[in-house]
C-alpha cells in the first residue's frame, strides 16, 4: 500500500501516484493500493478520480485512489470505540484536523493509546504527528503526547522532552545573568532561548554564573 497526504488539488500528483503504484507492482508483483488522506471534502472529491492515463478513446491505465477524508471518516470521541480499531481512530483523527472538536478527538486517541504496547503505539503517535502537519491541531497533539504518553520513548516524545529541557536550561542561563546584573540584549536573549542544542546550552550554563557580559557566555562559540 502507498499512503499519500494531500492538502490541496495538485494536477501533477496523479502522475506521481501512477509511478508509485507501477513501481510497487513491478517490484513486489502484488496488486498495490493507493490511500490518499485529505483534510477537506473538496480535495477528497478531486483526489477520488478516476484519472485516465493514455489516449482518451483507449486509456492505458485508470487510476482510482482510495480516499479518506472528513466526509467519509467517523468522528471518534469515545475511548472504548477508539480502542476497538486504533488504526482507524488515528486515520480519522488526521482527516478531522480542521474539525472544531479536534481537541476532544485527539484526547480520545491519546487516552486509548495509553494502555497499548509501545511497538503498536509509537508508529501511531508518529503517524498522527506527521498527518496533522502544521495545523494548530499539531501542537495540541504534541501537548497530549507530552502529558498522556510521556512514558513512551518514541522520536516525537523524546523531541518534546528535549524541548522541555532546553527551555529550562535557557531560563536558567538568563536567571544567572540577571542575578549577576548583566544586561542581556534582545539579540543575545533570542540566541539563548532559540538554541535547541543541549550540549551548547549546558556549556553556556556553566559560564553564566561568572559571566560579566552576555558575550562571555558565548565565548569561543
Q: What is the CA radius of gyration of the chain?
A: 24
Maximum mean pLDDT: which of 89-98, 145-154, 180-189 = 89-98
Element (DSSP H or E) covering residue 31: none
Question: Model confidence over 128-178: pLDDT tens digits?
Answer: 888 888 889 988 998 888 776 654 555 555 555 556 567 777 877 887 788
- Which position has the higher pLDDT, 207 or 70? 70
The answer to whether 75 and 105 have CB atoms below 8 angstroms apart is yes
The answer to whether 156 and 145 have CB atoms below 8 angstroms apart is yes
Question: Model confidence over 104-122: pLDDT tens digits?
Answer: 999 999 999 988 887 788 8
Beta-strand ranges (E) seen in 31-116 are 34-38, 51-53, 61-63, 66-68
Mean pLDDT of the chain: 85
pTM for the full predicted model: 0.64
The answer to whether 201 and 195 have CB atoms below 8 angstroms apart is yes
Q: Can you read off the three cell numbers belonging to residue 102?
A: 479536534
Amino acid at each position: 500500500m502507498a499512503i499519500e497526504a494531500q492538502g490541496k488539488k495538485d494536477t501533477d500528483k496523479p502522475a506521481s501516484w501512477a509511478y508509485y503504484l507501477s513501481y510497487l507492482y513491478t517490484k513486489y508483483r502484488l496488486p498495490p493500493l493507493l490511500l490518499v488522506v485529505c483534510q477537506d471534502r473538496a480535495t477528497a472529491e478531486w483526489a477520488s478520480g478516476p484519472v485516465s492515463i493514455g489516449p482518451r478513446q483507449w486509456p492505458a491505465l485508470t487510476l482510482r485512489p482510495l480516499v479518506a477524508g472528513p466526509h467519509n471518516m467517523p468522528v471518534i470521541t469515545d475511548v472504548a470505540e477508539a480502542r476497538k480499531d486504533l488504526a482507524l481512530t488515528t486515520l480519522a483523527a488526521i482527516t478531522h484536523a480542521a474539525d472544531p472538536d479536534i481537541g476532544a478527538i485527539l484526547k480520545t486517541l491519546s487516552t486509548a493509546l495509553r494502555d497499548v504496547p509501545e511497538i503498536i503505539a509509537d508508529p501511531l503517535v508518529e503517524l498522527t504527528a506527521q498527518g496533522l502537519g502544521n495545523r494548530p491541531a499539531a501542537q495540541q497533539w504534541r501537548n497530549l503526547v507530552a502529558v498522556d504518553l510521556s512514558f513512551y520513548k518514541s522520536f516525537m516524545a523524546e523531541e518534546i522532552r528535549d524541548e522541555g529541557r532546553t527551555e529550562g536550561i535557557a531560563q536558567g542561563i538568563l536567571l544567572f545573568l540577571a542575578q549577576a546584573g548583566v544586561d542581556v540584549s534582545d539579540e543575545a536573549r533570542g540566541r539563548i532561548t532559540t538554541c535547541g542544542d543541549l550540549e551548547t546550552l549546558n556549556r553556556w550554563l556553566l559560564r553564566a554564573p561568572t559571566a560579566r557580559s552576555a558575550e562571555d557566555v558565548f565565548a569561543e562559540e
